[in-house]
Amino acid sequence: MRSLLITNIGELVTADPAWGEGSLGIRRNAALVIDDRRVEWIGRAADAPAADARVDAGGAAVLPGFVDSHAHLVFAGDRAAEFAARMAGQPYTGGGIRTTVGATRAACDEQLRTNVARLRGEALRQGTTTMEIKSGYGLNVTDEARSLRIAREFTTETTFLGAHVVPAEYADRPDDYVGLVCGPMLTAARSAGARWIDVFCERGAFDADHSRAILTVGADAGMGVRVHANQLTEGPGVRLAVELNAASADHCTHLSRADIDALAGSATVATLLPGAEFSTRSPYPPARALLDAGATVALATDCNPGSSFTTSMPFCIALAVREMAMTPAEAVLAATRGGAAALRRGDIGRLTVGARGDLLMLDAPSHLHLAYRPGVPLTTTVVLNGELV
Ligand code: NIG
Ligand code: FE
């Protein structure tokens, strides 16, 4: 592997306060060397060791690659008409998930793979170097397993979401469906290499008892736990996530004071998905209250064809700053280190010596421009696992 030296970095965001100024650990006029897929050296250009290749950042900002810790990329079809109806006043209920299940089951592997590749490529061009990918539109043993196998072609961070909703054929016997998820479907998900298990704990999807049963079986089988929690109502999802020491409680849109305190006192990350509130015209999650209470916050896209059809982490950062009262620094941290924490990873989401060589360069002098220039494709260069993309 060729080593890479990046010089003339106007603002290097290390995302580690031990490595520079402020919460983002910013270093100015910096240089950085990546060797053998890791950050090997950070310092002033004049002191830089020799490297095989050299990139002049021209005074631009360099950040850790974004960590998108919540995405549903394995699906077929789109639901643009459902989006249009919502913008005309219809509420979002999650009922459209079954539409996507029908289209996904009917698609061949190659169609699903092509769709994931297209979306993963879109995200990468915007600076996302790690992306979690969930199943959840198969909802039978065969289609959940193939969704996870296809997801595994793109990431090691794959999540079994057989408990997304109860599929139509089990509508009048949800207990039987939970039995299927906990038994043969989970076995197939493990064989397909799923690292995580997730449940949509919500009215109309899975209640606390069913969610606990499924997540516990998954955890006993060695999977890490994450929960779709408190998206549509102030339900039991967040408390369940904390009870089970989940890596992440995702959405967190409707939280009680007790939910906020529980998250703040736990190792469970609050993963906020403002693309979903944007695309369902819903109130945004209480990011300020979570941060002020001391909770660890992550930002992710929730990319899916129903509630949030975006792959853009910069868009989510802009929403978090404009709509959720997060500072630009908090939002960037949540999109990098926060996402890494939500995946219980210490090797990504930061640019410090020893971290994975994942970074992005902006056509801008500062991370502030990510929120200051919304909708502008600012990412010019991406390095993924030590290699220029
Ligand atoms: O995270 N809430 C559940 N799952 C997705 C939405 C899925 C869909 O509408 O297709 C979410 O928002
Ligand atoms: Fe989701």
Three-state DSSP string of the chain: CCCEEEEEEEEEECCCHHHCECCCCEEEEEEEEEECCEEEEEECHHHCCCCCEEEECCCCEEEECEEECCECCCCCCCCHHHHHHHHCCCCCCCCCHHHHHHHHHHCCHHHHHHHHHHHHHHHHHCCEEEECEECCCCCCHHHHHHHHHHHHCCCCCEEEEEECCCCHHHCCCHHHHHHHHHHHHHHHHHHCCCCEEEEEECCCCECHHHHHHHHHHHHHCCCEEEEEECCCCCCCHHHHHHHCCCCEEEECCCCCHHHHHHHHCCCCEEEECHHHHHHHCCCCCCHHHHHHHCCCEEECCCEECCCECCCCHHHHHHHHHHHHCCCHHHHHHHHHHHHHHHCCCCCCCCCCCCCECCEEEECCCCCCHHHHCCCCCCEEEEEECCEEC
- Ligand-binding annotation for 261, yes or no, is no
| Residue in the structure block whose two tokens are 């989940």 | 246
Identify which ligand lies nearest to the alpha carbon of 136: 1
45 or 167: which carries more pLDDT confidence?
A: 167
pLDDT at position 30, please? 97
**pLDDT (average), residues 28-39:** 97
Residue to mutate (ligand 1; options 166, 202, 302; most atoms within 8 A of CB): 302
pTM as predicted: 0.97
For the chain, the structural domain boundaries read: 4-65+349-388, 67-342
Residue 244 Cα, ligand 1 centroid: separation in angstroms? 22
Measured distance CA(346)–CA(358) in Å, rounded = 13
pLDDT digits (tens, 9 = 90+) for 179-234: 999 999 999 999 999 999 999 999 999 999 999 999 999 999 999 999 999 999 99
Q: What is the CATH number of domain 4-65+349-388?
A: 2.30.40.10
Least confident segment among 82-96, 291-305, 335-349? 82-96
Residue 285 CB–ligand 1 contact under 6 Å: no
- From the CA atom positions of the chain, what is the Rg in Å? 20
Residue 161 Cα, ligand 2 centroid: separation in angstroms? 9
**What percentage of residues in the chain have a pLDDT greater than 90?**
98
Q: Going by CA atoms, what residue is nearest to atom 3 of ligand 1? A: 200
Residue 306 CB–ligand 1 contact under 6 Å: yes
Q: How confident is the model at residue 84 (pLDDT cuts 50, 70, 90)?
A: very high
Three-state secondary structure string covering 50-108 = CCCEEEECCCCEEEECEEECCECCCCCCCCHHHHHHHHCCCCCCCCCHHHHHHHHHHCC
Query: In sequence order, what are the residues at sequence separation of 6 or more whose Cβ sits closer than 8 angstroms to the Cβ of residue 387?
Result: 1, 357
Identify which ligand lies nearest to the alpha carbon of 308: 1
Q: Going by CA atoms, what residue is nearest to atom 6 of ligand 1? A: 307
**pLDDT (average), residues 125-147:** 98
**Dmax over Cα atoms in the chain, in whole Å?**
70
pLDDT at position 45, please? 85
Describe the strand order of the beta sheet including 158-163 as a list of residue ranges: 133-134, 158-163, 196-201, 224-229, 248-251, 269-272, 297-299
Look at residue 310 and tell me whether its pLDDT is greater than 90: yes
Q: How confident is the model at residue 46 (pLDDT cuts 50, 70, 90)?
A: confident
The rounded mean pLDDT for the chain is: 97
Token duo for residue 197: 């298990």
CA angle, 329 as apex, 316 and 312 as ends, to 5°? Answer: 20
**So what CATH class is 67-342?**
alpha beta
Q: State which ligand 1 atom lies nearest to the alpha carbon of 302.
A: 1
Residue 75 CB–ligand 1 contact under 6 Å: no
Measured distance CA(42)–CA(359) in Å, rounded = 13
Residue 330 Cα, ligand 2 centroid: separation in angstroms? 22
pLDDT at position 8, please? 96
pLDDT at position 1, please? 79
Look at residue 298 and tell me whether its pLDDT is greater than 90: yes
> Are 250 and 217 within 8 A, CB to CB?
no
Residue 292 Cα, ligand 2 centroid: separation in angstroms? 25
379 forms bridges with which residues in the sheet? 362
Q: Going by CA atoms, what residue is nearest to atom 5 of ligand 1? A: 307
Q: How confident is the model at residue 343 (pLDDT cuts 50, 70, 90)?
A: very high
Token duo for residue 36: 């053998």
